[in-house]
A and B are shown apart, each in its own frame.
Chain A
Amino acid sequence: MPIAAILALTELIAHSTAGTMFELVSALNSGAELLKQHTSNPISLSAGCDLFVAFVTTFAHESKSFFDLKRELVRQGQLYVKEASTSRSKIASLLLDFIPDDSVILTHSHSRVVTHALLHAHKQGNKRFSVYVTEARPLGLGLKTYQILIDAGIPCTVILDSAVAYAIGKVDLVLVGSEAVVESGGLVNAVGSYQMALIAKAANVPFYALAESYKFYRMFPLSQYDLPTHNDEILSLPTSLSSIRKPAMMSENPQLTMSDDQVNKNPGVDYTKPDLITLVFSDIGILTPDGVSLYLVGMFAG
């Protein structure tokens, strides 16, 4: 998603009629705003937009005319997108040394960078390992990961989200992807990552996060409820008990699954605190959570 945003903004520059830097940046900002409005989860999108706007504003240029500058920016934007597509491979090769032979890996839901890294370790790295993947209710994206890994010939078992603590004793390392890596060095990812990190910490299992550097985002959540995705509906309690149609629900839903309304009261992402994360693997290298914040501060405040 961040890459799509960068591409869209590059396109915007190419077609923009802006005659000055100020006009261009405000056009970019309003474009980014528009993109954010049309998505339910703006976090990773914002990361891409912010990165690109920061790049444009600080771009050191020698071009004589503004037109040249715009062309140069478009070129740089496309170049970046091209390079970004290689970042997953970089992360995969960095991770290789951290996967011991005969290890058991626990992962959460579906992440393209994690599956890419696992497939790479299996094929190019000739590592033998097996994987537990959580089901990741309510979307069940874990099954997608399961399918991909099984197809590649990696032993894999789907476990319940609630079975993470049960399974952690058999696990050597935890790998998760990320929506965004934030300024505290923490991680925003599909809900369940935080509890997985807590369990991993309690069991002294290393917890590795994989994140392309365009997912680094200048945001500092103080708590779960400080995330931009949080709203009043999430975790809301019924205002009056009479509004709950208990008997009706039981009869029309004998299998005891959650209704859409109930699912909607649940968060899509959560925030993993930096002290729970062992390392962050990104295309700029392997960072500690502190290193992430150093990098972000250096990039945006420098």
Chain B
Amino acid sequence: MAAANEASAKPTKKDAPPNIPPPKPVLTKAERRAKQEKDREAKAAAKGNAATNSKPGAAGTKSTSKTSNSNTAVAGPSQISKSTKTPEVTEAAPVKDAVLAAVQSQSVPELRDETRGLRIFSHFGLPKQSGSSNLKGPLHPAIFRLALQFSDFQIVGANARCIATLNAFKTVIRDYVTPPNTTLSRHLMTYLNPQIGHLVNARPLAVSMGNAIRYLKVEISILDIDLPEQDAKDSLCERIDNYIRDHIMVADKVIQDVAGEKIKNGDVILTYAHSSVVQKVLLQAHERGKIFSVIIADSRPLLEGQESLTSFRVLFYLLFIIIYLGKQLLSVLAEAGIQCTYLLLPAVGSIIEEVTIVMFGAHSVQMDGAVYSRAGTALVAMMAKAHSVPVLVCCETHKFSEAVHLDSFNKNELAPTASKHSLDGPDKLRSSDDPNLQILNPLYDLTPPSNITAIVTEVGTIPPTSVSSVPLALGR
């Protein structure tokens, strides 16, 4: 069951990518570029009237005002909108300047010139459309497909993305042939860099992916130069498998045990959105006969909580069958099956009093103990703190991040605008095309360490203040 979740790395979701390129032999650069342009157009079309207009031309026609402050040099195309916006532009400027350096360091420079209609949050990351224009080398089809899956949010979650990336790199390494007059340990890196760049273009790297890639690079660089190519490739693939096993699979098992011990009979566990780790913890605790109920809080834009809910329901049905066979329907039904309540973020305040433990997953955990996780987490944690409910964050150490951000404005991502769970409301707003209306859907937020009771990792349950003492080597 647990493995099934991780296997979501494979495109099992309903809307598979429109055109997965079959492993094709060799394309010329121009051909490849043309193909990618075509793919992108198809993708952009699929996204409908999203404000994420990927083509610069389209951005110009529809959302004239949106580009006005992307660069101070650009003159406002419409007098009215410019005059109304002047104060905000001046306000935005320092923020922009402050983050400019960070943006420049982590993404390609041209992204700066694009906005998605967000004045201050234009640095949050944008749909990447010009992947081919800055390609530095040949792109492997596996990476191409993965990038599409990332940008379409078919693979989400730090663990799933990390596993998918590593598996894709395994394919890349297997298909790689060292050119003459060079060695694998020197050349493979230069071959991988554009592949990584393409993934970053599709969606900013998850911290887990960054750590895994760093690990892979170290492994490549320390390869013996005299090792035969096939042996070197096999050894790398084995290292990758070991990384997935040690840092994700086994780590998850340990976390399941450790966090499961904290669940007592009669507990009411509140979780937010969907985390593969939390899901495993709850399912295992349930399998071990703990009797508890789960409240799943959820929120737009992704409404991932429904995923958690579905997985528990499946279990519920399975149990139903077993129970039916055992002819103890009523008594066991009452005790077995995880009782789930599904609600949206605004309702959390009403039920927080009932909750005994709050459990989250995380995108990453910073060295200062702050947790970077799905937008809305900080809110739930704050509320739990106010009601003295312990907040547990389940996070493997491979997601630990050396970087420390002080707030969630510094670095964030925007949710895909054409999400499959889109409701009418905001889309209607968007289509009304009001130049003064902008929609902001950040993907993540930052929960300060003071609102977190403990972080459950594979090295044990630690207070957020101790994150920095977990040896970095564990996650790297």
Contacts and interface: CB of A to CB of B under 8 A. Distances in A.
A296 B454 CA distance: 14
Bin chain B's interface residue count.
Answer: 10 to 19
Nearest to B465: A290
A74 B9 CA distance: 51
Given A183-B460, A184-B454, A223-B390, A294 B262 contact: no
Contact of A293 (B357, B459, B462, B471): B462
A298 B460 contact: no
Contact of B463 (A226, A290, A301): A290
A297 B454 contact: no
Interface in A165-188: 183-185
A96 to B, nearest CB: 28
Residue among B392, B454, B474 with max Cβ neighbours from chain A (10 Å):
B454
Interface in B216-266: 262, 264
Given A220-B454, A301-B471, A302-B471, A274 B460 contact: no
Nearest to B388: A223
A184 B463 contact: yes
A222 B462 contact: no
Nearest to A295: B469
B271 to A, nearest CB: 15
A185 B465 CA distance: 10
Interface in A266-302: 274, 290, 293-294, 296-298, 300-302
A218 interface: yes
Contacts of A297: 459-460, 462, 466, 469-470
B262 A226 contact: yes
B466 A290 contact: yes
Contacts of B460: 183, 218, 220, 297, 300-301
Residue among A222, A294, A298 with max Cβ neighbours from chain B (10 Å):
A222
Contacts of A298: 469
B461 interface: yes
A183 B456 CA distance: 12
A296 B461 CA distance: 11
A185 B463 contact: yes
B412 interface: no
A222 B357 contact: yes
B453 interface: yes
Interface on chain B toward A: helix, strand, loop, or mixed SS?
mixed
Contacts of A274: 463
A226 B392 CA distance: 14
Interface residues of A, number: 19
Contacts of A183: 460-463, 466
Interface string B446-468: 00000001100001111101101
Residue among B465, B466, B470, B471 with max Cβ neighbours from chain A (10 Å):
B466
Interface in B261-306: 262, 264
A127 to B, nearest CB: 33
A158 to B, nearest CB: 33
A301 B357 contact: no
Nearest to A300: B460
Nearest to A218: B460
A293 B466 contact: yes
B390 A293 contact: no
B461 A301 contact: no
Contacts of B463: 183-185, 220, 274, 290, 293
Contacts of A226: 262, 264
B261 to A, nearest CB: 9
Contacts of A223: 390
Given A183-B462, A222-B262, A294 B469 contact: yes
Contacts of A290: 463, 465-466
Interface on chain A toward B: helix, strand, loop, or mixed SS?
helix
A130 B281 CA distance: 52
A122 B471 CA distance: 43
Nearest to B390: A222
Nearest to A302: B471
Contact of A220 (B264, B461, B465, B471): B461
Residue among A185, A220, A274, A296 with max Cβ neighbours from chain B (10 Å):
A220
Given A185-B463, A290-B463, A290-B465, A222 B470 contact: no
Contacts of A220: 454, 460-463
Contacts of A184: 453-454, 463
Nearest to B369: A290
B421 to A, nearest CB: 33
B243 to A, nearest CB: 19
Contacts of B474: 301
Contacts of A222: 262, 357, 390, 392, 453-454
Contacts of B459: 297, 300-301
Nearest to B458: A301
B97 to A, nearest CB: 35
A302 B469 CA distance: 9
A218 B357 CA distance: 20
B260 to A, nearest CB: 13
Contacts of B461: 183, 220
A223 B469 CA distance: 24
Contacts of A300: 459-460
A226 B474 CA distance: 28
A256 to B, nearest CB: 34
A296 B466 CA distance: 9
A185 to B, nearest CB: 6
B318 to A, nearest CB: 30
Given A184-B454, A222-B453, A302-B471, A294 B465 contact: yes
B467 to A, nearest CB: 9
Contacts of A293: 462-463, 465-466, 469
A225 B356 CA distance: 11
A212 B13 CA distance: 56
Contacts of B454: 184, 220, 222
Nearest to A184: B463
A298 B471 CA distance: 8
A301 B465 contact: no
A298 B470 CA distance: 7
Interface string A35-62: 0000000000000000000000000000
Interface string A211-236: 00000001010110110000000000
- In the A-B complex, the 4 residue pairs with the closest CB atoms: A301-B459, A220-B461, A222-B390, A293-B466
15 contacts: A183-B460, A183-B462, A184-B453, A185-B465, A218-B460, A222-B390, A223-B390, A226-B262, A290-B466, A293-B469, A294-B465, A294-B468, A301-B462, A301-B474, A302-B471
Interface of B: 262, 264, 357, 390, 392, 453-454, 459-463, 465-466, 468-471, 474
Given A274-B463, A297-B459, 14 more contacts: A183-B461, A184-B453, A184-B454, A220-B461, A222-B357, A222-B390, A222-B392, A225-B264, A226-B262, A226-B264, A290-B466, A293-B469, A298-B469, A300-B459
